[in-house]
Amino acid sequence: MTETTSHASAIRAGGVAITGLHKSYGSNEVLKGIDLTVAPGEVVCLIGPSGSGKSTLLRCVNLLETPNQGTVAVSGFDATDPEVDLNAMRRHVGMVFQQFNLFPHLSVLENCTVAQVKVLRRAKAEAAGVARENLRRVGLDGFEDRYPDQLSGGQQQRVAIARALSMDPQLMLFDEPTSALDPETVGEVLSVMRGLAGAGMTMLVVTHEMGFAREVADRVVFMDGGVVVEEGPAEQVIGSPTQPRTQDFLRRVLNPTDVEL
Amino acid sequence: MSTVNTTGPASGPNPSPGNSPQTGRRMSNRRRRQISLGLQAGVFVLAIVILVAVMDWPTLGQSVFNFAEIGPLFPDIILVGLGNTLLYTASSFVVGLLGGTLLALMRLSSFPPYRWLATAYIELFRGLPALLVFIAFGYGVPFAFGVQWPIPLVVMVSLGMVSSAYIAETLRAGLQAVPKGQAEAARSLGMPAWRAMVTIVIPQAFRLVLPPLTNEVILLTKDSSLVYVLGLAAYEYELTKFGRDGITALDAGLTPVLVAGVMYLIITVPLSLLARKFESRTNRTRV
């Protein structure tokens, strides 16, 4: 207890420390002992083949999935302590989903204010002010009164980012944020994320966008089969990987037309 | 006509075009369709003609469409009858909606005894005739426990309890149809489970089940007529009771029942159109 507490408090705002994380669904072990840290202000990209456990790992950080074993400390909270106030913790951790998950019955502005009002108890006017500022930040001022089904995928994902930012998070989790987008709208979302990284936001990003990872990530973590296979600076892991599995994966992703069956 | 029949008897119930290539080629599909349509129209017109010919129109005018005699029904059949039908329907729908929401949430609860309780209730009240529930609350309860409660309350409780079982199942389907990601997004913003349910999931579920809920109101409107089996004071009469009493009180045959029927349709047909409108809207906006 004392050990984990001091471990958690060692993590300053936005930081993440994961040790010995295991997660299984029935007999299917998805995560087989993951150790991972994210320093405050750092941008870490998780890459790897589908089914490698990247998304599960990300969802364990804000406890959308409950780990079977191991510890997760996030932003000063010991997330795996049974006594922890998860709702309080999640207020500091923004999450962006592959399928956007905007609230379709609420306008763009309401999407960005509802949690501010209901969770942070901000006054409506204040919440609207914060929401407008974040919508401007993602390039969507003037879209306040639209509804999600009136927006393109890229616009929806940018609203989702503004919605998360409106809670003033210390850490942002991105779960394949561009995988469900039409190719022509991927760029606008990546550009918003690049801006966030540049502004010093702590980010943990599951992505297949190798160009983005190489350019924006401070560190890249390659996962396969539920374990971290290789990690290091983006240039090193993507540019000159040392592990055969990483090399094989990157060859397939970077040159999809060269793959032989 | 004769060209159609040439293939028929030869090849039995399922004539194949190969049996008579010449007629098959000569008669286009379009021609076939025209003949079929003409036949149907002919049968229809014939049936109408026979019906008109055999009908005893003077008696029909006397006993079914005798609008001259129904003056005494008005204005009470509207002010009292229609009013009470609307009141009974609305009050039982409120009970049904509240009860149904509670039951649906219990049905999806992670605490097993809630689920068992809700399942037992739903199976019980979906399996019983509404009439039996009316008799239980209207006659049985006053007789057994010596309590006298007003008829509007009996209707509200009986019909409300029955409809809450149906509404619960409808709502449960609606709640389960809201994508899981909605609750996850709400939770990731720091909302507790109940808040995510109330603010994010339930409003979307209600939108999805608006058409079946409207149908439920139509059913309630019609089922409120069952109150007719209980002893009613004049001010508690609803449409069916007015129709029934009109048969003996006025010498107009079926006409009072016809009038009551029209009143029901004045409520139910717009509701039905509304349900259809909701349905097309849901189909359009859902992802």
Cβ-based interface (< 8 Å): residues of B facing A: 179, 181-182, 184-192, 195, 199-200, 203-204, 207, 285, 287
Dihedral angle computed from the Cα positions of residues A81, A82, A85 and A89, in that order, rounded to the nearest 10 degrees = 40
How high does pLDDT run on average in chain B? 88
Q: Which of A12-16, A62-66, A144-148 has the lowest mean pLDDT?
A: A12-16
User: Residue B25: is its pLDDT beyond 90?
Assistant: no
Q: How far is A164 from A201, CA to CA, in rounded Å?
A: 12
Let me know: does A16 contact A73? Beta carbons within 8 Å.
yes
Give the pLDDT score at A11.
55
Which residues of chain A have a CB within 8 Å of the CB of B203?
Answer: 105
Give A231→chain B minimum CA distance, Å: 27
Which residues of chain A have a CB within 8 Å of the CB of B185?
Answer: 95, 97, 101-103, 160
SS3 letters across chain B: CHHHHHHHHHHCCCCCHHHCHHHHHHCCHHHHHHHHHHHHHHHHHHHHHHHHHHCCHHHHHHHCCCCCCCHHHCCHHHHHHHHHHHHHHHHHHHHHHHHHHHHHHHHCCCCHHHHHHHHHHHHHHHHCCHHHHHHHHHHHHHHHHCCCCCHHHHHHHHHHHHHHHHHHHHHHHHHHHCCHHHHHHHHHCCCCHHHHHHHHHHHHHHHHCHHHHHHHHHHHHHHHHHHHHCCCCHHHCCHHHHHHHHHHHCCCCCHHHHHHHHHHHHHHHHHHHHHHHHHHHHHHHCC
User: Residue B273: is its pLDDT beyond 90?
Assistant: yes
Mean pLDDT of B124-129: 95
Dihedral angle computed from the Cα positions of residues B262, B268, B272 and B277, in that order, rounded to the nearest 10 degrees = 100
A150–chain B Cβ distance below 8 A for any pair: no
Cβ <8 Å between A90 and B190: yes
Which residues of chain B have a CB within 8 Å of the CB of A101?
Answer: 179, 181-182, 184-185
Count of A–B CB contacts within 8 Å?
A: 63
Sort residue B148 into left (φ over 0), alpha (ψ -120 to 50) or beta.
beta
Q: A260 or B104: which carries more pLDDT confidence? A: B104
Candidate from A104, A105, A167 with C-beta closest to B190: A167
Give the pLDDT score at A76.
85
Residue A12's pLDDT band (cuts 50, 70, 90): low
How high does pLDDT run on average in chain A? 92
DSSP state letters, A66-112? --SEEEEEETTEETTSTTS-HHHHHTTEEEE-TT----TTS-HHHHH
Residue B95's pLDDT band (cuts 50, 70, 90): very high
Candidate from B190, B195, B204 with C-beta closest to A105: B204
Q: B222 or B279: which carries more pLDDT confidence? A: B222
Question: Which chain B residue shows the shortest CA-CA distance from A167?
Answer: B189
Residues 167-186 of chain A whose Cβ lies under 8 A from any Cβ of chain B: 167
User: Residue A143: is its pLDDT beyond 80?
Assistant: yes
A64–chain B Cβ distance below 8 A for any pair: yes
Cβ <8 Å between A115 and B184: no
Q: Around A49, how many Cα atoms within 13 Å sit in the side-chain half-sphere?
A: 15
Question: Which chain A residue shows the shortest CA-CA distance from B179?
Answer: A101
Mean pLDDT of B161-186: 96
Give the pLDDT score at B285.
54
User: Residue A6: is its pLDDT beyond 50?
Assistant: no
Cβ <8 Å between A97 and B185: yes
Residue B234's pLDDT band (cuts 50, 70, 90): confident
Candidate from A95, A118, A167 with C-beta closest to B199: A118
- Dump pLDDT digits (tens) for A161-177: 999 999 999 999 999 99
Give B274→chain A minimum CA distance, Å: 20
What ipTM describes this predicted complex? Answer: 0.92
Cβ <8 Å between B187 and A91: no
Cβ <8 Å between A101 and B287: no
User: Residue A214: is its pLDDT beyond 60?
Assistant: yes
Q: Which of A34, A174, A15 is nearest to A79 (CA)?
A: A15
Question: Which chain B residue shows the shortest CA-CA distance from A89?
Answer: B190
Question: Which chain B residue shows the shortest CA-CA distance from A160?
Answer: B185
Cβ <8 Å between B204 and A104: yes
Give B210→chain A minimum CA distance, Å: 14
Q: Which residue of A93, A118, A161 to mutate against B (max B Cβ within 10 Å)?
A: A118
**Intra-chain end-to-end CA distance of chain B, in Å:** 51
Candidate from B181, B199, B285 with C-beta closest to A114: B199
Task: Confirm whether pTM is higher than 0.90.
Answer: no
Q: Which of A35-44, A248-257, B39-48 has the lowest mean pLDDT?
A: A248-257
Cβ <8 Å between A119 and B287: no
Tokens 């006397």 found at: B62
